[in-house]
Copies of this chain bind each other. A is one copy, B any other.
Amino acid sequence: MPNPSGATPQPLTPDEESLVRALGQVMHVLPRAIDADMVGDRQLPLTEYTALMNLSETPDRRMRMNELAALCHLSLSGMTRTIIRLETQGLVRRERCEEDARGWNAVLTDAGYARLQESWPSHLAAVRRRFLQHFEGFDLAQLARAFQRAGTAEPAD
């Protein structure tokens, strides 16, 4: 706790304040909006989409639960549950891991791959329309680096 008792810290400047508020709003609105676009379009909730996406980017369309969870920003148990949902839809199948019998691979099925192909354009369109569009003229790379820093759990200080 950076502020030892007593003195109140410097408040935010108006610009800082509105940035923080706007980010709060975006964090709330954006996932729902993208989700809605996709559900309306190709019935894949964002979490499930992300899982399929990450699987598809792998050479043999399979990944260990641990790794997949990390890439999807999900807890391991959250991942288990997501994969179960996908499995019951036939979009993913689970196989025991050969070199470690404790481990499982989530494997993208052909149906899953097909579904992803269907969903991909509408996801992409939503991301552009809802987000990227508003950052034309910005230095995206610089912005991306700042967000990467902010997304890294522990600031070094």
Contact = CB atoms under 8 A, between A and B. Distances in A.
Interface of A: 1-4, 8-9, 11-13, 15-16, 18-31, 33, 41, 53, 56-57, 73, 116-117, 120-122, 124-125, 127, 129-135, 138, 140-141, 143-153, 155, 157
A23 B116 contact: no
A20 to B, nearest CB: 6
- Copies per complex of this chain: 2
A56 B1 contact: yes
Given A1-B41, A1-B122, A57-B1, A153 B29 contact: yes
Given A2-B129, A16-B132, A134-B149, 18 more contacts: A1-B53, A1-B121, A1-B125, A4-B117, A12-B127, A19-B147, A20-B132, A22-B145, A22-B151, A27-B30, A28-B151, A29-B150, A29-B151, A29-B153, A130-B150, A134-B147, A135-B146, A138-B146
